[in-house]
Structure 1
């Protein structure tokens, strides 16, 4: 019998290499898996195609750190947990008072669109990404994620500051190596999103093996029956893991799964 009934894996820094590509071994391993594999990522919906184009088959995805649960076969959002406009107004006010050099952005329309302040660094052109026309536009619609970036802070210190500033009205985490914090509605985490998905499928936490590398993966790894940190994982992630596999550039996920499932 298979040792687990479901595999849950982060994408960036975990399943793909530093060039955002799947290795041949990882592709072959995913194709041979005898149990479902679910992507559990901080990525928004609009960033999934880059991975789906490499996969042998599209995998269900829990996006935006648990806020959006997506079925790629029907192109349907099964569940979306948003930050209301009222909470966005409160949170952005708190953050602006606490962090003067901060830039803000929001993921809206279930993560299919992105709006940002003019100071937000945009790395590539995308018709779904647009600068806001006024400060009020940032909080005018519910968002699956609010992002805050500091140009000068230490990444871990910035996460601690933002978390303290929010005071529990929203969830704060990070997956970037830079000082960028990802903010979700209260109670929204990768663990909560995966728990909802697994309950729908009749699968318990004890039957799940999960892989991750950054602080936003900690709730996921803490919830899963078997927590596996990547060899390149943040120290806080390694501290909560049951096991540590190879790095993302050394096919750490595929190596673990091949041994666990005797592929």
Structure 2
């Protein structure tokens, strides 16, 4: 892609946000300027909807988002889910059954209600929003798989994230998608065919934008499908090796506004 892109898509954590999970004023201003000038800017993230407010509070205007690794497409202006592609209860139950047989000590959580709420097993380790009213432990394993979930989360103690994801993906081959977006040993599971690429492609089709005209930024394995799909794929320099291997270009790290710096080269600084 040599021409100015018709749409900009970016991951959030480790890409746009600095390591302290703040968005620099510089990056916020660049995103606002590009969006206001008429080029759509879309956040494409593993985050659930309920975690977007932390980012929106740092922007002049909220941006549309592809959440939960592609399972949810969200319009923040209308507070409306445009599309959701969850794991059905029967599929959730089979995924959980296979992983309990394959991974000793595995524990689960599910993102439900289009990722506005979370349910988790009592022994599932919560890392961030344990005190949120939208988070609740279930009383039985069966309760965890009673309703559709846009994402199933799996942990099994201290794990190498790449190896653990390979184990989970192998157990679920042909049944569901497995990826990871952190180094904490968390594996994120979506319905078969649901990826950041699929969610973003649906949104771009809605706008009449081709993949060739999309500029995308990312840093972790869950970004690989999106970066492979987009016409121009840019990794931040702090990215996982899987992302660096497939990116068309590399920009500066998330800690030094790498995305904003690249966007200014493409769109200008005025």
TM-score bin, normalised by smaller chain: over 0.9
Counterparts of 1:5-84 in structure 2, within 5 Å, are 5-33=6-34, 34=37, 35-84=39-88
Using the alignment, how far apart are the partners of 2:61 and 2:3 within structure 1?
21
Correspondent of 2:208 among 202, 221, 239: 202
Using the alignment, how far apart are the partners of 1:18 and 1:186 within structure 2?
31
Using the alignment, how far apart are the partners of 1:102 and 1:220 within structure 2?
28
Map of 1:216 onto structure 2:
222
Using the alignment, how far apart are the partners of 2:125 and 2:98 within structure 1?
22
Shift of residue 152, structure 1, vs aligned partner: 2.9
Corresponding residue SS for 2:170: helix
1:184-208 alpha-carbon deviations (Å, 9 max, x no partner): 0011000000000000000000110
Using the alignment, how far apart are the partners of 1:157 and 1:63 within structure 2?
25
Q: Does 1:89 align with 2:90?
A: no
| Aligned residue pairs, count | 263
Shift of residue 23, structure 1, vs aligned partner: 0.5
Using the alignment, how far apart are the partners of 1:182 and 1:160 within structure 2?
12
Using the alignment, how far apart are the partners of 2:99 and 2:236 within structure 1?
32
Counterparts of 1:1-263 in structure 2, within 5 Å, are 3-33=4-34, 34=37, 35-123=39-127, 124-263=130-269
Corresponding residue SS for 1:29: helix
Using the alignment, how far apart are the partners of 1:203 and 1:31 within structure 2?
20
- Is the 8 Å Cα contact of residues 2 and 261 (structure 1) preserved in structure 2? no
Corresponding residue SS for 1:104: strand
Of stretches 191-200 and 145-154 in structure 1, the one that deviates more from structure 2 is 145-154
Corresponding residue SS for 1:244: strand
Corresponding residue SS for 1:65: helix
Q: Which runs of 4+ in 1 moved over 4 A?
A: none
Could you tell me which runs of 5 or more consecutive residues in structure 2 were left unpaired when the two chains were aligned: none
User: CA RMSD of the aligned region, Å?
Assistant: 1.1
Using the alignment, how far apart are the partners of 1:240 and 1:217 within structure 2?
10
Output the TM-score relative to the length of structure 2: 0.96
